[in-house]
Amino acid sequence: MKNETSLRRLKIIEGHVRGIQRMIEEDAYCIDIIRQIQAVQGALNRVSSEILGNHLNSCLITAVRGDDVAERERMLQEIIGVFEASKKV
């Protein structure tokens, strides 16, 4: 069910990106284009947060409750990696 929400949002974002492409092709005002790009970035951030939340509430919880210490550590390192990568963007 949660994947359906993310997919629906991504399809909306896809349409929005196409709109930005049209704006550029039509030589729209630069600030208007930048505002639309910022809106898409915000929407992508919301989808990313939703997917991360789903991951934390499913995969990570399963690993933390499990007996495999190596799997727990791997999952935690994955999460740390995601946050470190987001700082570079």
- Report the pLDDT value the prediction gives residue 2, as an integer from 0 to 100: 65
What domain range is 65 assigned to?
2-88
The domain total for the chain is 1
Neighbours of 27 (CB within 10 A): 8
CB neighbour list of residue 74: distance below 8 Å, 6 or more residues apart: 63
Query: What are 13-55's pLDDT values in tens digits?
Result: 999 999 999 999 999 999 999 999 999 999 999 999 999 999 9
Find the mean pLDDT for residues 50-77. 91
For residue 15, the Cα-to-chain-centroid distance in whole angstroms is 16
Find the mean pLDDT for residues 3-14. 95
For residue 60, the Cα-to-chain-centroid distance in whole angstroms is 17
Residues 89 and 79: their CA atoms lie apart, in Å, by 16
The CATH number given to whatever domain includes residue 78 is 1.20.58.1000
* Residue 68 or 89, more confident: 68
